[in-house]
Chains A and B, each alone.
Chain A
């Protein structure tokens, strides 16, 4: 028995090394599984505060640009609003449930962002207090940005679209054919559109929008444009499409969060029907 203890004492450095590495790997795994609880990520209060102060200084220099883009978006929205404003009418109309507004929007500011790794995350300055929930979609005036991963009281962390574990449902605008957008980890301005069958006619420059099938994003938010069309080498039944992303991830400042209140209902319904199928 004593020998065993002596032996263990002799290799104590190695044992501690293994223990610490095990802890680190456990952290990596629990941080990367979407459902896994996030313990010490930057949405915790201290780190969040420090990052917020830093971003306040850095983003001061891009204020003019942010203002201009908000302004132009405002103008566009005003124009659209004018078209939708109800004309006084003598005909009484029941409000149609089809036209019911299904989505809720929240504005937020990006306080930390990375784009050089293969698992990139974005930290936002809105949290549980402001009604942010895990699973909400994130986009800005340029296009889709990502999806909320975890939330603390005052801050939230989102998967960037530049995260190889995030997949979004997308469609080609002209043909309404749908597929999945996923980033392959190489360039921060391009992503891949997967599962588009080979018979579909696709050309360079076609617009890619969110499909609305996954109920995270409303239908029709811009993702990007097709920049390259080729046949998938691994599986020749599908096309390999490269999409030039419309969002400039290196300059994210203000973003919108979108929630579909019916998401829970839809999701559980879809899960149920999958269960009964098999």
Chain B
């Protein structure tokens, strides 16, 4: 990664965290679908950032969100899980050689179909871990699954919306 990339990715993640904290805090569509937009920052990072640094980054990103949301540990565990499975899922879901190492994993770079198959299951995993932690011992299985499903779909649409509006078409971000 070049230093220019590092700066632009840091800026992207910082912006997403601020948006998450200020605007998406109490938003829940029909009381079911939460938007975890900050995950977009972890999602688009290219594969040159290996799993270990990605996981550490996700851990502290989740912790940062948790401190403000009063959900200590819940976003942290979910985001760490997300980061751990990102590269594993990439390997499983795509035939070898179909991604370049340094390629940004954004909508415009990898195309819609591959983006869906790559992002949606990971977002679902994150939501599932989050709501299992939230409902631990109290909620029902159905409500955990339905909240996870609708949240991941809603988050998915948010990530697409942000990418269409603010990402440059060909190269780089912002």
Give the B-binding residues of A (Cβ under 8 A).
Answer: 12-14, 16-17, 20-21, 23-29, 31, 38-42, 44, 47, 50-51, 54, 112-121, 123, 157, 164, 184-188
Contact = CB atoms under 8 A, between A and B. Distances in A.
B31 A114 contact: no
A-side interface mostly? mixed
Contact of B138 (A31, A47, A113, A164): A164
Contact of A13 (B28, B52, B73, B138): B52
A26 B73 contact: yes
B41 interface: no
21 contacts: A13-B51, A14-B84, A16-B56, A17-B84, A20-B56, A20-B76, A21-B80, A23-B59, A23-B76, A24-B62, A24-B74, A24-B76, A27-B76, A28-B77, A40-B63, A40-B67, A47-B67, A112-B70, A116-B31, A120-B70, A157-B70
Contact of A24 (B26, B31, B68, B77): B77
Nearest to B69: A114
A42 to B, nearest CB: 6
Given A20-B80, A24-B62, A119 B71 contact: yes
A118 B134 contact: yes
Given A17-B84, A44-B67, 20 more contacts: A13-B52, A13-B84, A16-B55, A21-B77, A21-B81, A23-B59, A24-B74, A25-B73, A28-B77, A28-B133, A40-B67, A40-B72, A41-B70, A47-B68, A112-B68, A114-B71, A118-B134, A123-B70, A164-B138, A185-B135
A12 B62 CA distance: 21
A20 B59 contact: yes
A111 to B, nearest CB: 11
A55 B112 CA distance: 39
A13 B88 CA distance: 11
A42 B63 CA distance: 12
Contacts of A188: 31
Contacts of B68: 42, 47, 50-51, 112
Interface string B84-99: 1000000000000000
Contacts, number: 102
A27 to B, nearest CB: 3
Interface string B77-120: 10011001000000000000000000000000000000000000
B165 interface: no
B34 A116 contact: yes
B139 interface: yes
Interface centre among B28, B59, B63, B70 (most CB of A within 10 A): B70
Contacts of B134: 117-119
List of 3 A-B pairs having minimum Cβ-Cβ separation, nearest first: A27-B73, A28-B73, A24-B77
A157 B21 CA distance: 18
B25 interface: yes
B22 interface: yes
Nearest to A119: B134
Interface string B12-23: 000000000110
Interface in B23-38: 25-26, 28, 31, 34
Interface string B149-174: 00000000000000000000000000
A66 to B, nearest CB: 18
B72 A27 contact: yes
B28 A116 contact: yes
A12 B53 CA distance: 12
Nearest to A165: B138
Nearest to B51: A13
